Amino acid sequence: MVAVSGGPDSVCLLHALREIGVKLAGVAHFNHKLRGDASEEDERFVAGMASKLELPFFRAEADVRSAGGNLEQTARRARLTFFRALMRDKASDKVALGHIKDDQAETVLFRILRGSGLAGLAGIHPVTAEGFIRPLIQITRAEVLDYLRTRNIEWREDSTNRDLGFARNRIRHELLPALARDWNPQIGASLAHLADLAFEEEKWWAAQTPAGFENASEFRCDKLTELPRAIARRIVRRAIASAKGDLRRIEFDHIERILDLAAQPEGHGRLRLPGVDVTRSFDWMRVERPAVRDLLEPVNITVPGTYALPGGIGEIRFQIDEIPGPGCANLKLELAVRMKLRAWRPGDHYRPVGKSRDHKLREMFQSARIPSWRRAVWPIVESDGNIVWAKEFGAAEEYAADRDRAPVLRIWEP
C-alpha cells in the first residue's frame, strides 16, 4: 500500500514503485480536514490518480484540529492509526511512506534541538517492525521534483507547508538554510549521514540484551546497576517504549531518575513520568502504563480444571491423582467440591505446612521480598472461608493430604 497525500514526495513514490514493477495493494489517503476545500481537492486528486492507475483507493478522515494538543503530532498519530488498521485488516502487508532525505535532516536537527539521545538521532527509520517502509529516504527533494517534471506528472502543493507556525516548517525554511549558508553547505547530507550512523548503532545495541532482561517491563535493580551506564539506559528506554508504545516526552532526566531509583541500596519508591509509572519494591522495578491493573475475580473451582491468572502471568491447574505427586500441593480430596480461587486480601492469614503457627500473608510477602505490584493478583485458594493454599507458600497444614492417603487433590502451576 502506498500512502499518498497528493504532495510531490508521495506522488513520486507511487509512480516510482509502479515504474519498477512493485506489486501494489492500493493507494491510501488520509484527509486531515485542515484546509477546507483544498483538503477535499487533495482527496479527489489522489482518488483520481488511483483510478487512472487502476489501483484500489482507501481513505479515512478526521478533524484533527478539533482534537486539541500539538497539531502536527495529532495529525501524525491519526494517519498512522489508519495505516496500521489497513495492515491489521490485511488490506496490505506493508505501507510505503514518502519520507525523503530532506525530511530526515529536518527530523534529526529537530531532535538535536530538543536534546535527543542516540536513539532519537537515528531519525526516521527506513523500515520498521510494524510494517512501514520508506523507499525514498535516501532521495533528495530536488531529485523528486526532477523525476516528476521529466515525466510530466502532476502533484498538489500544501499551503500549510509554508506556515511558520509549525516548528518543522521553521526548521525547513529558516534554520536549515541559515546553517547551510553560514556553516555547512552540505548540512542536509551531514544530518542524514548522522541518522544513518545512529540507526545502525542502535540496531546493533537492540540485539544485545543481557541475561535477565528479556522481560522488558520488570527487572532486578541490582542487575541493572551492575551494567555499564550506556546499556542500562537502553534497557530503561526499551522498558518505557514497551509500556507506552513510544518514547515521546521522555527526556534524559527521566531516564536518570529511574537509574537513581534503582541504585538506592534498599526500599521502595515510585516515579510518575509522561505516560508511564515506575515502581520499585524490594529488589525489583516495574515499568507500566498508569492504568487499572487486571483483577483476579473470585471464581468457584471445578476439578479437574485450569484457571488463567490475569496479565498473562501463568495459570493454575487442579486435578485428582491416585497417588501424591510432585507439584505445588497435595490436598485432601474432599476439598474438590467446595473451593474458590481469589486474589490476596489484606488481613489474609493461615498456617502453611511445616509452620508452627498462623502467619499473615503480608508478613510472608515481606520475608519472601515479593514486589508490591504482584500482591494484588496473588492467587489464593479457599474453602468455607479458610485458606487452603497460597501461591509459593503452599498448602495449609490442616488441609494437606497425608503421604499414605490416596487419591489426592493436586494443585500445580505448569
- List pLDDT tens digits, range 49-77: 999 999 999 999 998 887 766 788 889 98
409 confidence band (pLDDT: 50, 70, 90): confident
Is the Cα torsion angle 21, 23, 25, 30 positive or negative in sign? negative
Each residue's pLDDT tens digit, 256-283: 999 999 998 877 888 888 889 899 988 9
**Average pLDDT value over all residues in the chain:** 89
Sign of CA dihedral 122, 127, 131, 137: positive
Residue 192 in this model has a pLDDT that exceeds 90: yes
Q: Which amino acid is at 271?
A: L
User: Would you list the domain boundaries of the chain?
Assistant: 2-205, 218-288, 299-412
**Residue 22: band (very low, low, confident or very high) from pLDDT cuts 50, 70, 90:** very high
Q: Locate cell 496490505: which residue?
A: 92
* CATH class entry, domain 2-205: alpha beta
pLDDT score for 137: 96
Greater model confidence, 147 or 333: 147
Give the separation between CA 116 and CA 37, rounded to whole angstroms. 38
Q: Where is average pLDDT lowest: 49-53, 125-129, 133-137?
A: 125-129
Q: What pLDDT, on the 0 to 100 scale, is given for residue 305? A: 87
Confidence band (pLDDT; 50, 70, 90) for 352?
A: very high
C-alpha cell at 157: 502543493
Name the 3-class secondary structure at 77. helix
What tens digit of pLDDT does each residue of 95-121 get?
999 999 999 999 999 999 988 778 889
Give the best-scoring range by mean pLDDT among 13-22, 268-277, 328-337, 369-378: 13-22
Q: Which residues pair with 219 in a beta bridge?
A: 285
Q: Please report which confidence band the pLDDT of residue 324 belongs to, taking 50, 70 and 90 as the band edges.
A: low
Residue-wise pLDDT for 216-259, tens only, equals 788 899 999 999 998 999 899 989 988 888 887 788 889 999 99
Q: How many angstroms separate the CA atoms of 120 and 202, rounded?
A: 10
Bridging pattern class, strands 57-61 and 27-31: parallel
Is the CA virtual torsion 183, 186, 187, 191 positive or negative? Answer: negative
pLDDT for 162: 85
pLDDT score of 323: 65
pLDDT value at position 163? 84
Residue that wins the pLDDT comparison between 412 and 128: 128
Output 67 or 369, whichever has higher pLDDT.
Answer: 369
Confidence tier at 293 by pLDDT (50, 70, 90): low
pLDDT in tens, 375-407: 888 999 999 899 999 998 989 999 888 776 778
Task: Report the pLDDT value the prediction gives residue 382, as an integer from 0 to 100.
Answer: 92
> What is the rounded distance in angstroms from the CA atom of residue 45 to the CA atom of residue 6?
7
What per-residue confidence (pLDDT) applies to 325?
A: 57
The residue that leads in pLDDT, 134 or 373, is: 134
Would you state the cell numbers that stand for residue 259, as one nine-digit string?
Answer: 537509574
Rounded to whole angstroms, the maximal C-alpha distance in the chain is: 90
**Burial class for 342, CB neighbours closer than 10 Å (0-12, 13-18, 19+):** middle
